[in-house]
């Protein structure tokens, strides 16, 4: 897929995911280049079709975009649960497990996804894999002692563990670092690996999202494919 085709695929998937949204919903608004089109389309439906929804953004970037498109946002102190989260993914496997965090918003994304009744992922065919891990696995870690945290992660990871940004480190919206772990396509048991990484001191969150996604909307030059998890909350 060329650059233009990829962008068109992202746009079509982002817009198609809006069909899961119904009047009166409280939504988690994900972060990334694909779900950006979802946020824009939701804003259009609010202004042109009278759609009545509220949103919770997963990043400062998404908050700014939602405000630009006049999507009402819910203050965090008023959030108990959400009806649906729509977000992107860097990879997804046949069991609907995900790698997320390429944009660095994995912690807020997981917090929002876990208080949602269901989750829809918007993506393109490049992210469809048999085994997770070709995309470097992001891990958000606190700055204090990050070198030690990195060494602990290295014991689990067969490839390099690198601080994102190197000497000019990427800083998350939460004020932390991202360590990108190059597992390669070896993550055959993402649930177990998620638990192991979350048990390392200094780790705030890991970009493995297991047993969270209920549907994947895949945009391509051939159209839209929607996969619903058979045992999921939308089946």
Q: Is 130 tagged catalytic?
A: no
- Written as one string, the DSSP assignment of 59-76 is SHHHHHHHHHTT--B--G
The answer for residues whose C-beta is within 8 angstroms of residue 218's C-beta and 6 or more apart is 13, 123, 124, 125, 128, 224, 225, 226, 227
Give the chain's count of helices (H) and strands (E): 6, 13
Q: Are the beta carbons of 45 and 51 closer than 8 angstroms?
A: yes
Burial class (CB in 10 A: 0-12, 13-18, 19+), 24: exposed
- The β-bridge partners of 224 are 219
**Which is the catalytic residue, given 41, 63, 91, 109?**
109
CB 153 within 8 A of CB 197: yes
Q: Which residues are part of the catalytic machinery?
A: 109
């Amino acid at each position: 897929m060329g650059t233009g085709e990829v962008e068109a695929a992202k746009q079509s998937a982002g817009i198609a995911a809006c069909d899961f949204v119904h009047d009166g919903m409280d939504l988690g608004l994900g972060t990334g280049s694909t779900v950006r089109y979802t946020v824009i389309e939701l804003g259009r439906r609010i202004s042109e079709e009278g759609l009545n929804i509220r949103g919770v953004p997963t990043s400062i970037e998404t908050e700014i975009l939602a405000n630009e498109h006049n999507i009402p946002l819910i203050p965090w102190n008023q959030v108990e649960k959400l009806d649906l989260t729509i977000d992107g993914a860097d990879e997804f496997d046949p069991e609907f497990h995900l790698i997320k965090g390429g944009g660095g918003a994995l912690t807020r994304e997981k917090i929002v996804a876990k208080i949602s009744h269901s989750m829809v992922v918007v993506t393109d065919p490049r992210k469809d894999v048999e085994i997770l891990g070709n995309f470097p696995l992001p891990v958000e870690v606190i700055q204090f002692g990050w070198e030690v945290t990195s060494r602990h992660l290295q014991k689990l990871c067969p490839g390099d563990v690198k601080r994102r940004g190197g000497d000019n480190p990427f800083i998350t919206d939460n004020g932390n670092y991202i360590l990108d772990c190059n597992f390669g396509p070896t993550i055959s048991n993402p649930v177990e690996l998620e638990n192991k990484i979350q048990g390392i001191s200094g780790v705030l969150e890991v970009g493995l999202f297991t047993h969270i996604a209920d549907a994947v909307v895949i945009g391509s030059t051939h159209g839209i494919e929607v996969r619903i998890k058979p045992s999921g909350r939308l089946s």
